[in-house]
Amino acid sequence: MNYSFKTLWNRTFYAVGPLWAALAWMIWTSGQLKTDAHQHLFLAIVIPGFILMYVSGFLIEKSHAKKMRNQQ
């Protein structure tokens, strides 16, 4: 592998981010979120969910690096 995990993970999210945004936009404009409470709940799940997925990659990478160090 010629690239670091960080580089590959960021490139993945550059590709996934717009798709995630498009899906969120389609759900938002579909009329399924009828009340303000539904819209706030949707945003409270989608935005932190995307951030959590992004951060989890680095946590997994850190855990893997620690495991590899312990094996040596």
State whether residue 35 is helix, strand or coil: coil
54, part of any domain: yes
Domain residues for 53?
36-67
Integer Cα distance of 22 and 25 in angstroms: 5
23, part of any domain: no
Share of the chain above pLDDT 90, in %: 69
Is residue 1 scored above 70 in pLDDT?
no
Confidence of residue 48 (pLDDT cuts 50, 70, 90): very high
Integer Cα distance of 1 and 46 in angstroms: 32
pLDDT digits (tens, 9 = 90+) for 27-47: 999 999 999 999 999 999 999
10, part of any domain: no
48, part of any domain: yes
Write down the residue that tokens 């389609």 correspond to: 26
21, part of any domain: no
